[in-house]
Amino acid sequence: MELRRATVSDAQALSALSSTCFTQTFGHLYPPQDLSHFLDEAYAPAAWASLLSDPAYATWLLERGGVAIGYATAGACSLPHADVAPDDGELKRLYVLQEHQGGGRGSRLFNAAIAWLLRDGPRTLWIGVWSENHGAQRFYARHGFERVGDYDFVVGNTRDHEFILRRGA
């Protein structure tokens, strides 16, 4: 397995990978039209190209045989919490295709993103996680993150109850 920093040339591959991962993980929660609209907007190649060209964000790809099977994205925190400070960082996304989960693949992506977020020294880190994703919550708790708030994640007409997790500097 190769772990590498994604570039703008990976926008198309990330669009396909992120859409598949999101659908595998959460697709059952949404009406088809809401899911389709969300994926077309949030994970479009143009959206990825914009994100990948922004130096305030970074994305890593985990590849097996040259094929992307997982990714993580980190950057400035945009979670809706009163304590978020301008220099705080956030693990925005961490996904591995279902058929490749396990074996520490998610941990490799997580560690790369956290190391990048902490590259200039300690800072407060944040993560938003679906309230029913208990496995992810346990994973983040093992890494020092604690629940400090809630918010709604909107996909079309659906509002998901999300937890806001924080780890101090």
> Is residue 54 scored above 90 in pLDDT?
yes
What pTM, to 2 d.p., does this model score?
0.93
Count of residues in the chain: 169
- Which tokens hold the place of 106? 């998610």
Residue listed under structure tokens 């925005």:
92
How many separate helices (H) and strands (E) can be counted in the chain?
5, 7
> Is residue 70 scored above 90 in pLDDT?
yes
Q: Above pLDDT 70, what percent of the chain?
A: 100
